Amino acid sequence: SPSDPNLVARARAAKEKLGDRVFILGHHYQRDEVIEFADVTGDSFKLAREAAARPDAPYIVFCGVHFMAESADILTSDEQQVILPDLAAGCSMADMATSEQVEECWDVLAEAGIADVTVPVSYMNSSADIKAFTGRNGGTICTSSNARRALDWAFEQGEKVLFLPDQHLGRNTAVLELGLSLDDCVLYNPHKPNGGLTVEQLRAAKMILWRGHCSVHGRFDVSSVEEVRERIPGVNVLVHPECRHEVVTAADHVGSTEYIINTLDAAEPGSAWAIGTELNLVRRVAAAHPDKQVVFLDKTVCFCSTMNRIDLPHLVWTLESLVEGTVVNRIRVDAETEKFAKVALDRMLALP
Ligand code: 13P
Ligand code: SF4
């Protein structure tokens, strides 16, 4: 639906008044009405780098989800204030790994005698606490655009990887990019004693995958891929690596949100694409390429509900508050957590 013209005018006026003092970042899953006001759009990796590259902006308004705003706070100076327009914009996947559960898992690995040879690799989609755990224990953060390089690095540091919290990104990268077998991977269930695994299973594994997933991408399945191939002969199936292994295996291309955009930009006019990722992005890509046929991989999958919480009314409220001199919804990571989380994030930023 078209945005309320009055709100659009208010957002424009507030942004203009703030000038260079505000920098607005927009993740590719944000609504059109929000993306319109973003100074930069990107995938999680690009946005982390962009936030770090703006030392002069006192206010960073992060239109995305909570873990992204936390990462921006960690990567920016103490004087800069990071704002999340709606504090309820979390991520169900990030919530699937709590710091107590992860510490308990590390104890299980220690008891099995393998903690010393295990390197934690945590997906950006995790809380600052999990990132701090990762930094304290010699590990790195990764995103969907550098997971392969992060795993290559990790296997140079140790024999095994504990991959948190997205089992699918971990498995897809290990099997499809590093050439490990499915048998090299075990699934650690934080709700079961010892993760539901025997000591022998843990010792034999190369990849210990946390049992987390994205509720949006988890809904795509192989039948959607088969159905679209039948319906549109010659279609290119392009999916995000948070999709299940069978889906990624059945697809033609896999990559981050930024990769998806770049792939469509480079595609031949007249080509057909079925995209398996969040709907705001797919719709925008389709609108940007009227010369190509772009369809959503599955009719039943919808938006990321937490990404969608950031809307124009929240953005206007945030910006107008700043104009009045009030910082609302500041995201602030405590100094101790920040110190170790930054170690892990800096390792990611330094990956070759
Ligand atoms: P990327 O934008 O890094 O591909 O991540 C997708 C995602 O799910 C963010 O929550
Ligand atoms: Fe989290 Fe999935 Fe939404 Fe990304 S799309 S923010 S992983 S729930």
Instruction: Please state the atom number of ligand 1 nearest to the C-alpha of residue 256.
Output: 4
Q: Which of 28, 63, 91, 301 to mutate to test the pocket of ligand 2 (most atoms within 8 A of CB)?
A: 91
Q: How far apart are CA 277 and CA 75, in angstroms?
A: 27
Look at ligand 1, atom 9, and give the residue with the nearest C-alpha: 44
Cα–Cα distances in Å, from 157 out to 113, 117, 160, 219? 17, 8, 9, 35
Residue 278, ligand 2, Cβ within 6 A: yes
Residue 51 lies in a domain: yes
CA angle 305, 309, 312 (to 5 degrees): 140
> What's the 173 CA to ligand 1 centre distance in angstroms?
15
Residue 301 lies in a domain: no
Q: Which of 214, 233, 262 is the last residue of a domain?
A: 214
Look at ligand 1, atom 2, and give the residue with the nearest C-alpha: 43
- 236 with 313, same domain: the answer is no
- Residue 326 burial (C-beta neighbours within 10 Å; 0-12, 13-18, 19+): exposed
Q: Can you give the pLDDT of all 352 residues of the chain as single tens digits?
A: 678 999 999 999 999 999 999 999 999 999 999 999 999 999 999 999 999 999 899 999 999 999 999 999 999 999 999 999 999 999 999 999 999 999 999 999 999 999 999 999 999 999 999 999 999 999 999 999 999 999 999 999 999 999 999 999 999 999 999 999 999 999 999 999 999 999 999 999 999 999 999 999 999 999 999 999 999 999 999 999 999 999 999 999 999 999 999 999 999 999 999 999 999 999 999 999 999 999 999 978 789 999 999 999 999 999 999 999 999 999 999 999 999 999 999 999 999 9
- 206 with 235, same domain: the answer is no
Number of domains in the chain: 3
> What's the 247 CA to ligand 1 centre distance in angstroms?
17
Residue 311 lies in a domain: yes
Three-class secondary structure of residue 277 per DSSP = coil
Instruction: Please state the atom number of ligand 2 nearest to the C-alpha of residue 305.
Output: 3
* 8-state DSSP, 173: I
- CB 202 within 8 Å of CB 208: yes
What are the φ and ψ backbone dihedral angles of 279, each rounded to 5 degrees? -70, -35
- 99 with 198, same domain: the answer is yes
E strands within 53-202?
A: 59-63, 81-83, 118-123, 140-142, 160-164, 185-188
Look at ligand 2, atom 3, and give the residue with the nearest C-alpha: 304
- 103 with 38, same domain: the answer is no
Residue 103 lies in a domain: yes
- 221 with 272, same domain: the answer is yes
The DSSP result for 218-275, as a single string, is GG--HHHHHHHHHHSTTPEEEE-TTS-HHHHHHSSEE--HHHHHHHHHHSPTT-EEEE
Residue 345 lies in a domain: no
Q: Which of 214, 233, 249 is the last residue of a domain?
A: 214
Bridge partners (DSSP) of residue 41 are: 26
- CB 107 within 8 Å of CB 137: no
Instruction: Please state the atom number of ligand 1 nearest to the C-alpha of residue 216.
Output: 8
Give the CA count within 13 Å in the CB-facing half-sphere of 46: 15
- CB 350 within 8 Å of CB 146: no
- 9 with 86, same domain: the answer is yes
- 101 with 200, same domain: the answer is yes
- 151 with 230, same domain: the answer is no
Residue 302 lies in a domain: no
Domain that holds residue 179: 94-214
**What CATH number has the domain bearing residue 241?**
3.40.50.10800
Q: How far apart are CA 336 and CA 270, in angstroms?
A: 53
Cα–Cα distances in Å, from 316 out to 11, 27, 70, 81, 271? 5, 17, 21, 17, 39
- 99 with 176, same domain: the answer is yes
Q: Which of 303, 333, 343 is nearest to 62 (CA)?
A: 333
Residue 249 lies in a domain: yes
For the CA of 93, the nearest ligand: 2
The CA R_g of the chain, rounded to the nearest whole Å, is: 21
- 101 with 207, same domain: the answer is yes
Q: How far apart are CA 267 and CA 235, in angstroms?
A: 12
pLDDT of 1:
63
> What's the 323 CA to ligand 2 centre distance in angstroms?
31
Q: Which of 178, 198, 214 is the last residue of a domain?
A: 214
Residue 350 lies in a domain: no
> What's the 199 CA to ligand 1 centre distance in angstroms?
33
- 71 with 105, same domain: the answer is no
- 121 with 206, same domain: the answer is yes
Q: Which of 71, 143, 257 to mutate to test the pocket of ligand 1 (most atoms within 8 A of CB)?
A: 257
